Chains A and B, each alone.
Chain A
Amino acid sequence: MTSIWNYITDRVTVGRPIWLLLLPIVLPPLVYFSMRSLSGLGTFRKNVAILLRATVVILIVCALAEVQAVRKNDKLATIFAVDVSESIPSDMRRNTLRYVTEEGKKRRKEDLAGVVVFGRNASVESPPAPTEPNLSLGIESSINAQYTDLASAIKLALATFPEDSARRIVLISDGNENRGNALEQASAAARLGVQIDVLPIEYVYDKEVLVEKISIPPDVKKGDMVNINVVIRASEPTTGTLQIFQKDSDNRPIPAPGNETPVPITLERGVNVFTLKQKITETNFYTFTAEFVPTKGSGDQRSINNVAQGFTYARGTAQVLLIEGTRDEHAELVKALREKKIDVKVLVAPDVDGSSGGFGGDVLPDDLGQLQPYDTVILGNVPKEALSEQQQKLLEANVHDMGAGLIMLGGPKSFGAGGWQNSPIEKAMPVDMQIKAMKVQGKSALVMLMHASEIAEGNYWMKVIAMEALKTLSSYDYAGMNHWEGQEAWLFTPQAIGNNKASMLKKIDRMQPGDMPAFDPLFNLSIAGLRKIPDAMTKHIVVISDGDPAPPSRGVLNTLIQNKITVTTVIVAAHGNDPGALNSMRDIATKTKGRFYNVTNPKALPRIYQKEARLISRPLIFEQNPPWVPVVKYATEPITGLVGGLPPISGYVQTQLKESDLVEVPIISPLPAAGQVNPILAHWNYGLGRSVAFTSDAGRRWTTAWRDWENYAAFWSQVVRWSMRPVDNKNLSLTVRREEGKLKIVVDALDKDNQFLNFLQMQASVLSPDLQAQRVSLVQVAPGRYEGTVENAEASGNYFVNLGYGAPDGTKGIVTSGISVPYSDEYRELKSNPTTLETISSLTNGKVLSWKRRPDGEIDLKRTLEESDSFRRDAYTLPPRGFSPLWPNLLVLASLVFLGDVAVRRVAPDFARMRRTLIDTIKRMRGEEVEERVEYMEKLQGRKAEVNEALERSKFAARFDAPTIEGSDQPLDEPLLTGETAQTQRPATATPPKPTKAPTQNPADSYTNRLLQAKKKVWEERDKKQDE
């Protein structure tokens, strides 16, 4: 009985059970009244009718109670969640992939199998599908393997499951989670009825050595002997050597002076601290690396966690980094600054060629640490393409977040003329490099001729370079682009960039250049396009090609030369270093006075195009002879105290002041005299730092008279000093700790008398290794102690913390510190953590699987697979239930049953006759003779006739006329009155009329006539009687 009930409840459910209460209310009265009203039907029909009626009511009540059918599905979806983080030993990773591939094959036909892989992030490697996942070729998803986040894997798997199947996750991991909370997600899975089987990957690095950290005093002085503390954790006593390295000027690690020989050390189980002495020989930024090398055969397996890094900064006199475009271009400036006791380091920016970097020049800083010794960076006439995008970002962050200074000096390759518009440096400057409403003195027109489809990712690179060129050109310049698309065609004709930039970029995006057979048609097209722009002072074509098209004819080259169109050719090495192609491309450039680039690395292309666009777009330079004197508008801090007027200048790069109240513009140029302000010297505070724009140069081309100016050195030293990073206040000690992927910043503030400094405003800016800045306000937690936490300090690398503070008395300052994360947390784990996995499994009623091993310790995949069944059905794989409403079906059924109810009451079946007919039929089929019976219809007609007769008789009795007289031709069939009245008025004495044939009715006899006749007869008979 229970099983029947279970069977029903498994398949049917009630949405609003309250309505079922109607049944006991409605059913008993219904039965009671029906018993009475249907008593004439006979017992059997009555019972059937009541039953049907009750059924109708039950069905309607069920419809009202929203009875629903429960759909069940035997489908099972299993998602394998595979841990691919660094902590998984590589042999186990291979085994895991093989396991998933083989286990997936156990899928039943209707089952779905999917794979989620995870580390720091989780990704769906293959969505649940009715196919076997195949991981034999490795993982395709891009996973950050530096961390393990079990929770994100479970969460993603839960979100990936289809709705209409039972669900199981098979989690394969070492259980060492260092991100997220897996148990929380496991509970969520349990609530959703998702089972999690776990297959723990177990390992023990029982002889592992970890260099946990290296601690160095954050602030040291030149000449100090500092203690470098190295913290090493060992899981077993072992031996090895320890050595300290530091980075040289090119950022390469070399043994630290005094620590050239590795120190032999003996490690005990647990934490060991070693102190090594290191002499600080000069003011610099130091990055020290401690490396432990285990004795051979010690059993230490992972070397990545044997290294730790730390940094410190030895401050000395103020130091400035000058990056110049051409060597010794700023010799006078350097001399002047050194006279004023400012230490200057000069680097020369490389020029751009076809290799990925540049040629000539020095190695420029490309990490923030290298910039730390400098309080100000000066860019002297350096074009944008000389610095990579990353280096530009670095300089910007160095000002905004590290509080350093940035000065840009003018020159033909600086500001807008250097292509610096739309760059991170422009953001940091007090001036914009482009002038929005300038009366333009000379526009340039650039046509880009694109034919690079045959190099690897040719289309991609063509789009990149086209965008770079458009970015570098000014909005009032013209740009056009043509290519071969089956024939020569414009992608867009030369037009002012202005508002067309977006549509140009869209067209570039859709570009599909083909293989151009010859240069002539495209050059002719370009010439025709450029001729239509009369106001372009510079007309330039940049050709990118593999050099394979037929070289331009003499006629075309002559036309280019006559029209003063310069052509730069960029050959991308598609056909090897084919001398023919190289010569013909070089020839085009030489004859038309353009430049020639042989590109061996496509990464060089964007910078070439930046340079090309910059070289033609130089209307921003304003030069005039004779020189004129710039005007001191008002004195600001950098120029206070300078006596006498300024010497004349003969040119500068035009810029536009930023619309900000922070921008100060002490020196302007009266020329050109068109409405706007022409800044010569402008400065502002940008983030934590300061930046200065000097739009003329430092003594060579436009400011030759300045070199002999008595205040030359004073002027520049004041400007540079103003921009410099402020000096640290020694009363603040800043400590940075890293815990669970977060940085904790602690500041202890004491004054000179060692009294606590309270109520300071403190804000820290933390630059992560990818130069993302995070800002945090520190909160005072105790007398003189302030704390703040920065999230997401997960990546390994250097974190710089810059703390700006303000005291209630108005003093301000900046303190810098930092922390180095040498390797990911994944390498800190020395053994797996199956307990977490077992808990997850028990929370979700899953199974704990295990790897089976052969006697030699190797994984026995066959046996492991034998003991697992990821597609099994058990009591906890809850098949999902789908509900479909039954009320429409119930109502249709109710109306059918209602019809049955009506039929039972109105139709009386003649069972005897049915039986007879059946017997007769059987007899006929047997060939027996069947007794003739009066057919039903005949009988029915006979019966009808009888009934008619009886009716006739009663009719006659009801009529007023006398019974028909024999032989009379009067019509008899028209009743005068029917119903009860007629019957009651029937005279008791009336003689029943004899059956007569139905007389034909004379249509002429109207009812009134007959009535009159009848009346007349009655009167006649009455008279007769009276006479008798």
Chain B
Amino acid sequence: MVSNYQRSVVRAWGLCLLVALASGCDLAQSGHPELVWGIHGRKPGWLHKPRVAAFDAQDHLFLADLTDRIQVFDRDGNFIRQWSTPEFNVDGPSGLTIDKDGRLLVADTHFYRVLIYDAQGNLLHQIGDGVQGTTPGRFGYPTDVVMDKAGNYYVSEYGENDRIQVFSPDGKWLRQWGGHGDEPGQFMRPRAMAIDEDEHIYVADSANNRIQVFDTDGKLLKVWGERGDGAGQLNYPYDICIGPDKSLYVCEFGNHRVQKFTKDGKSLGTWGTAGREPGQLFNPWALAIDSHGYVSVIDSNNHRVQRFRM
């Protein structure tokens, strides 16, 4: 026979369970990641301050960290293979893009060039002669590469000259725009770019805390963002991606969060707070979106990757 006391204990436990379940559901809605992976270290499959990543069509994640490695993982973070860039001093590459042919476009930042690999890590060719410079065709610190439908390369860079340079598919210099400054159309540390099906180029102008939109000729179409941590405000946007839902996902280094925008710059919400727990980020550098529409955010200073959906 169950005594009154036992009954009340059962009730109390039941209540606790309910509360726990309810709060669990709440967490899931408010930003609990679906998956967290990554071990800090330099061994194959481990991450040492990962800074940039991109998914290919098979949902393989290509990832570069503070070493000279480019590592390939499956969607769930299982290590597949790796290779090294030709030279290394302090930092690894800080820009990775998969083009429509599945090639990997690597902004080899500290060697002033863009490297183009096939998916297996064979170096196909490079843009830029590897000499630092401000003349057309040379780079300061290249940060990201995107490709338009015609196969032209758009390379963003910072250093003495914060600009975007355009190269033909065979690497010939075509044009450039930008310049160092905070006027519209100028850049301070353009960290990343994304290009949509209308061939609009979205630039994460990180130190100006804004997103600038250009057409392929460099004509400024739109600017939004100011420094702050409110909705629509930005704090060092370090990466930008376009999801299958045509929304823009911006990774904010300074606000430790991912913010979702419409293509017109309307904020649709944020994910992540500062910290080291799951669902929290510490100076994230980049994000990548897989074919399911899930965001894998590169939680750089926590040396890990978190996957979630917004």
List residues of chain A with CB within 8 A of the CB of B110: 575-576
* Assembly CA distance A631 to B29 (angstroms): 82
Contact A518 B236 (CB under 8 A): yes
**How far does the Cβ of A866 sit from chain B's closest Cβ, in whole Å?**
39
A486 close to B132 (CB less than 8 A): no
Given A517-B254, A575-B110, the answer on whether A550 and B89 have CB atoms closer than 8 Å is: no
User: In the complex, are the beta carbons of B132 and A579 less than 8 A apart?
Assistant: yes
In the complex, chain B residues whose CB is within 8 Å of the CB of A174: none
> Shortest CB–CB separation between residue A571 and chain B, in angstroms?
14
Residues of B within 8 A of A454 (CB): 90-91
**Given the interface contacts A486-B283, A575-B90, does A514 sit within 8 Å of B301 by beta carbon?**
yes
> Given that A550-B158, A575-B90 are contacting pairs, would A486 and B282 also be in contact in the complex, using a CB cutoff of 8 Å?
yes
Please name all residues of chain B whose beta carbon is closer than 8 Å to the beta carbon of A574 when the two chains form the complex. Answer: 90
Q: A520–B182 Cα gap in the complex (Å)?
A: 13
Q: In the complex the two chains form, is B189's CB within 8 Å of A550's CB?
A: yes
Interface string of A500-530 (1 = CB under 8 A from B): 0000000000000011011010000000000
> When chains A and B are docked, how far (Å) is the Cα of A515 from the Cα of B254?
11
Q: Decide yes or no: A486 and B160 within 8 Å by CB, A575-B89, A575-B90, A580-B132 being known contacts.
A: no
* B189 neighbours in A (Cβ, 8 Å): 517-518, 550
Main secondary structure of the interface of B (DSSP, over half): loop
- CB interface residues, B 183-223, toward A, < 8 Å: 188-189, 206-207
**Does B274 sit within 8 A of A, measured CB to CB?**
yes
Pairwise interchain contact B207-A520, C-beta atoms closer than 8 A: yes
In Å, the complex CA distance between A550 and B159 comes to 8
Q: How far is the CA of A398 from the CA of B169 in the complex (A)?
A: 74
* A517-B253, A518-B189 known; A580-B207 Cβ under 8 A: no
A517 to B207, CA, bound (A): 8
Residues in chain B near residue A575, CB distance under 8 A: 89-91, 110
Contacts of B256 in A (CB 8 A): 486
* Interface bits A548-584 vs B (CB < 8 Å: 1, else 0): 0010010000000000000000000011101110010
Chain B CB within 8 A of A487 CB: yes
Q: Which chain A positions have C-beta within 8 A of B206?
A: 517-518, 550
CB distance from B24 to the nearest CB of A (A): 28
A514 near B283: Cβ-Cβ < 8 Å: yes
Q: How many residues of A contact B (CB 8 A)?
A: 17
User: Once the chains are docked, how many angstroms separate the CA of A580 from the CA of B206?
Assistant: 18
Minimum C-beta distance from B181 to chain A (A): 9
Which chain B residues lie closer than 8 Å to A579 at the CB level?
A: 132, 160
Are A550 and B274 neighbours in the complex by a CB distance under 8 Å?
no
* 1/0 contact string of A567-607 vs chain B (CB within 8 Å): 00000001110111001000000000000000000000000
Q: In the bound complex, what is the Cα–Cα distance between A583 and B180 (angstroms)?
A: 14
Chain B residue at smallest Cβ distance from A583: B160
Structural contact, A517 and B236, CB atoms closer than 8 A: yes
From residue B185, how far is it (CB to closest CB) to chain A in Å?
A: 16
Contact B90 A580 (CB under 8 A): no
With CB as the reference atom, state the residue of chain B lying closest to A578. Answer: B132
Complex: A281 Cα to B247 Cα, angstroms:
89
User: How distant is A378 from chain B, measured CB to nearest CB, in Å?
Assistant: 46
**Residue on A nearest B140 in the bound complex, by CB:** A580
Asked if residues A486 and B274 are in contact (CB atoms below 8 Å), the reply is yes
A857 to chain B, nearest CB (A): 44
Query: Which chain B residues (91-118) contact chain A, with CB distance < 8 Å?
Result: 91, 110
A852 to B177, CA, bound (A): 79
Interface flags, B7-37, vs A, CB<8A=1, else 0: 0000000000000000000000000000000
Partner of B188, one of A486, A487, A518: A518
Give the docked Cα–Cα distance between A550 and B89 (Å). Answer: 20
Chain A positions within 8 Å of B301 at CB level = 486, 514
Q: Which residues of B lie under 8 Å from residue A514 when comparing CB positions?
A: 283, 301
Interface centre among B132, B253, B254 (most CB of A within 10 A): B254
Asked whether A550 lies within 8 Å of B132 as measured between CB atoms, the reply is: no
Please measure, in the bound complex, the distance between the C-alpha atom of A575 and the C-alpha atom of B274, giving whole angstroms. 28
Q: Is A553 in contact with B182, judged by CB distance below 8 angstroms?
A: yes
| A517→B274 CA distance, assembly (Å) | 17
Query: Within 8 Å CB of B140, what residues of A?
Result: 580
- With a CB–CB cut-off of 8 A, which chain A residues contact B141? 580
A487 to B274 alpha-carbon distance, docked (Å): 10
Q: Which residue of A lies closest to B160 (CB)?
A: A580
Chain A residue nearest in CB terms to B227? A521
In the assembled complex, how far is the CB of residue B169 from the closest CB belonging to chain A, in whole angstroms?
A: 29
Query: For residue A517, which residue of chain B has the nearest CB?
Result: B236
Contact B89 A580 (CB under 8 A): no
* A487 contacts across to B, CB distance below 8 A: 235, 254, 274
| Contact mask for chain B residues 250-286; partner A; CB cutoff 8 A; 1 contact, 0 none | 0001101000000000000000001000000011000
CB distance from B127 to the nearest CB of A (A): 20
Which B residues between 65 and 91 are near A, CB-CB below 8 angstroms? 89-91
* A518 and B207 contacting across the interface, CB-CB below 8 Å: yes
Given A514-B301, A517-B236, the answer on whether A576 and B89 have CB atoms closer than 8 Å is yes
B171 nearest CB across to chain A (Å): 24
For the complex formed, measure the closest distance between the CB of B159 and the CB atoms of chain A, giving whole angstroms: 4
Mark interface residues in A324-342 (1 if CB within 8 Å of B CB, else 0). Answer: 0000000000000000000
Most chain A beta-carbon neighbours within 10 Å: one of B90, B91, B206: B90
CB distance from A483 to the nearest CB of B (A): 13
Q: How far is the CA of A531 from the CA of B105 in the complex (A)?
A: 47
Which residue of the partner chain A has the closest CB to B188? A550
The A66-102 residues at the B interface (CB cut-off 8 A) are none
A contact residues around B160 at 8 Å (CB)? 579-580, 583
Kindly provide the distance from the CB of B248 to the nearest chain A CB, expressed in whole angstroms: 20
When distances are taken between beta carbons in the complex, the residues of chain B under 8 Å from A486 are 256, 274, 282-283, 301
B128 CB → nearest A CB, Å: 15
Q: How far is the CA of A456 from the CA of B140 in the complex (A)?
A: 24
A486 CB → nearest B CB, Å: 5
- Kindly state the separation between the CA atoms of A576 and B89 in the bound complex, as whole angstroms: 8
* Residues of the B chain whose Cβ atoms lie less than 8 Å from the Cβ of A550: 158, 188-189, 206-207
Whether the Cβ atoms of A580 and B283 lie closer than 8 Å is no
Most buried by B among A454, A518, A579: A518
Question: Nearest-CB distance from A302 to chain B (Å)?
Answer: 42
Minimal Cβ-Cβ distance residue in A for B235? A487
Chain B residues, CB < 8 A from A583 = 160
Nearest-neighbour CB distance to chain A for B67, whole angstroms, equals 14
Complex Cα–Cα for A692 and B237 (A): 62
Cβ contacts under 8 Å, B89 to chain A: 575-576
Q: Which of A674-699 contact B (CB under 8 A)?
A: none
A-side contacts of B253, CB under 8 Å:
517
How distant is the Cα of A454 from the Cα of B66 in the complex, in angstroms? 11
Q: B157 CB to closest chain A CB, in angstroms?
A: 11
Q: How far is the CA of A454 from the CA of B51 in the complex (A)?
A: 15
Question: How far, in whole Å, are A578 and B282 apart by their CA atoms in the complex?
Answer: 28
* Alpha-carbon separation in the docked complex, A68 to B132 (Å): 84
A518–B182 alpha-carbon span in the complex (Å): 13
Residue numbers in B under 8 Å from A580 (CB-CB): 132, 140-141, 159-160
Shortest Cβ distance from B190 into chain A, in angstroms? 11
Residues from chain A with Cβ under 8 Å of B254 in the complex? 487, 517
Query: Chain B residues with Cβ under 8 A from A515's Cβ?
Result: 283
- How many angstroms between the C-alpha atoms of A212 and B238 in the bound complex? 70
Q: How far is the CA of A454 from the CA of B91 in the complex (A)?
A: 9
Closest Cβ of chain B: how far from A733's Cβ, in Å? 63
How many Å from the CB of B236 to the closest CB on chain A? Answer: 5
- Residues 123-143 of chain B, each 1 if its beta carbon lies under 8 Å from chain A, else 0: 000000000100000001100
- Could you write out 10 A-B pairs with CB less than 8 Å apart? A486-B256, A486-B301, A487-B274, A515-B283, A550-B158, A550-B206, A576-B110, A578-B132, A579-B132, A579-B160
Q: A487-B274, A517-B238, A550-B189 provided; 20 other pairs, C-beta below 8 A?
A: A454-B91, A487-B235, A514-B283, A514-B301, A515-B283, A518-B188, A518-B189, A518-B206, A518-B207, A550-B158, A553-B182, A553-B188, A576-B89, A576-B110, A578-B132, A579-B160, A580-B140, A580-B141, A580-B159, A583-B160
List the interface of chain A (C-beta within 8 A of B).
Answer: 454, 486-487, 514-515, 517-518, 520, 550, 553, 574-576, 578-580, 583
Query: Sorted from nearest, which 6 A-B pairs have the closest CB atoms?
Result: A550-B207, A580-B159, A518-B207, A550-B189, A580-B160, A517-B236
